[in-house]
Amino acid sequence: MLGSEINLNNKKKKKANVTTRLNIVFFVVFLLFSVLILRLGLVQIVYGDDFKREIERTEDITVNNPVPRGKMFDRNGKIIVDNTPLNAITYTKFQDTSTEEMLETAERLALLIDKDTSKVRERDKKDFWILKNPEKAKEKITKEEWDLYDQDELDDKELYKLQLERIDVKKDLASLSQQDLETLAIFREFNSGYALTQQIVKNDNVTPEEFAVVSENLEALPGVDTTTDWERYYAFGNTLKTVLGNVTSSDEGLPKDKLEEYLARDYSRNDRVGKSYIELQYEDVLHGQKGKVKNITDKAGKILTTEVISEGQRGKDLVLTIDMELQLEIEKILEEELMIAKQSPKSALLDRAFVVLMDPHTGEILTMAGKQIAKNNETNKQEMRDFALGNITTSYAVGSVVKGATILTGYNTGAIKPGSSQFDAPLLIKNTPPKSSWKSFGMINDLRALQISSNVYMWKTVIEMAGGTYAPNRPLPLDLTAFDTMRQSFSQFGLGTKTGIDLPNESIGYAGPLRQSGLLLDLAIGQYDTYTVMQLAQYISTIANGGYRVQPHIVKEIREPVLENNELGPIIQEIAPNILNRIDGKDEWIDRVQEGFRMVMQVGDGTGVNTFRGAEYSPAGKTGTAEAFYDGPERKKFGKIPPEVMNLSLVNYAPSDNPEVAMAVMVPWAYQGNSGSATANIIGRRVMDTYFNLKKQDHTVETKDVEQTYEATE
């Protein structure tokens, strides 16, 4: 009985303990729910609006859109370089766009467009395979290598490198379908862009159907847009192409060597910029002002609305000094005369010819023509190429055309005076072959020396200038500082120094390094230092206009762009003539050289009379032939000693009493041997005839009066 009572009491105590514990648990649960409800109420009531705003938060992201470049016109308003509009599909990567999101968008876009896969490299395919097959990529790593990775003895880059090396090109990469490759090509374009910068995905052969279907599905393609792009169009084909220059592609973007400079000027990394000559020189003018678009996105990066901040403006237009009708006619002349001259067996090394026409008062380049015969590596046939650029980038020994500068240097140093006479007979210098003119002329003065191109007269002038005394069969020591005197004097005409033309990479020619008495004599007749054709044009212009060295320029005006395709906008800037220097010397000295140059072309046995006889425009100028060594593209096959060749040159202006056009012609390596064609003279006559014939046909080229120009400049 007693035992039963004890058991009953124990059960009651246990039941009471369980009830107490349950009450405690319920109380704790109640407290927790109360805290939770209180917390939820706090979130709902106190912070509800804040969280709602956070969820609905939007971001304003401004994107710069490129604009077409400015156009180029010739001096008569003919379009030379234009922009051809292209349908384009673009992608803009936002700052928080993930790789997975980009890949997903690329896959969707690949279903809508055809994308060229030729630029996809094997390494791109491997990266893409790893991205598409992460589990299989992991299997490329052994357990031991994973253990090393866990122990920090291998890092992520080393693991990735092992995966790349172990991808089976034939098996793994072969599993990529054509659709995969197009996705990869698109993804590659996405990845090559920079955040908030519009990247061209496709602008070549975008069909109207592709453009339409992408436009309709932009909502499902975050970052993708359809727009109008452009490419450069050259209205006259390859004419002047080397001078007009090139523009980088969207793939190239900014040149690496100028990347920081362009970025500091608010360019984007994939902007297209001028990379050579006029396109490069006038990049700031041609580039234009970018359009700005503000994309309003939600927190997830989805574009909600787009707002145009600025439409942008295409680049400003350039009006060049070039007359394209004249340019085309002169290029035709060069091609015809080159092919005729090339038929001679003596002209095997001839491959180029150049012409520059310049307004001697303003420096405006009316024509800058160059042609070169070169082998096409694809067809293995000879073809005629544009080489206008050679007028400023290549230099040659030019021969007797420099004798006007030699005479004026002689006047200025007192070595000779106007009317001074010398006896033209071979110079017999000890231990030196006889040095002579092309024939002996007897007693001649300075005008006659220019007329018949006497070498001896020039040499005796330099001998006097260098303090020498000539005696037959005796040594001829000279003061070699006369090299500096002559070169400094020649540079006043533009010979041996930069002309200042508004194009990059202008050559100054080559000044021979050796200083010997015989070489000083060669310098006086244009057979030692080398000069560019543009330098010759500046030199003859300086003589033609009365002694003013005018800076040549190829851009005439900068104009505002207008919507109409072939219409010129208002002038922003007109490039004024720039006088670089006035040569040392009296006006009557220059007048005398001008008269000598007139005699060369119009009087008696002047060296240009046979070619220019009967010309109604009263030409004046100087012919030139230089003994030189071949230095062309076939140079290597001749070994250490290249063959001797003759360079032909011509400088000219007209009319002689009031010059309106100056010309320089150069035909390097015209022939081998002592005699050959007169190609430079023939080209010069045809060019001048063409210029004045076009003028008669009301195709006028504006020129300015020399006195008006210099009064305005000074």
Catalytic residues: 400
> What contacts 614, CB < 8 A, 6 or more positions away?
none
The alpha helices in 111-240, defined as continuous H runs, are 122-132, 134-138, 143-150, 156-166, 178-192, 208-216
> What contacts 547, CB < 8 A, 6 or more positions away?
582, 583, 585, 587, 590
HEC profile of 577-592: CCEEEECCCCHHHHHH
Structural tokens at position 138:
């992991």
Residue 130, number of CB atoms within 10 A of its CB: 18
The alpha helices in 42-176, defined as continuous H runs, are 48-55, 99-110, 122-132, 134-138, 143-150, 156-166
d(CA 567, CA 296): 38
How wide is the angle at C-alpha 690 spanned by C-alphas 684 and 694, nearest 5°?
A: 155
Structural tokens at position 435:
């040095």
d(CA 25, CA 13): 19
User: Before 655, cis peptide (omega within 30)?
Assistant: yes
d(CA 27, CA 14): 20
Q: Where are the beta strands (DSSP E) in 544-658?
A: 548-550, 555-559, 571-574, 579-582, 620-629, 644-654
Residue type, 353: A
What residues pair up with 291 in beta bridges, in sequence order? 65
Strands 644-654 and 661-671: antiparallel
* Side-chain-facing half-sphere of 1: CA atoms under 13 Å: 0
What residues pair up with 530 in beta bridges, in sequence order? 510
Structural tokens at position 192:
């090559």
Structural tokens at position 695:
């003028």
> What contacts 53, CB < 8 A, 6 or more positions away?
none
Residue 580, number of CB atoms within 10 A of its CB: 18
DSSP 667-707: EEEEESSS----HHHHHHHHHHHHHHHHHHTT-------HH
- The answer to whether 437 touches 453, Cβ cutoff 8 Å, is yes
d(CA 480, CA 553): 36
The alpha helices in 167-295, defined as continuous H runs, are 178-192, 208-216, 241-244, 259-264, 277-281, 283-286
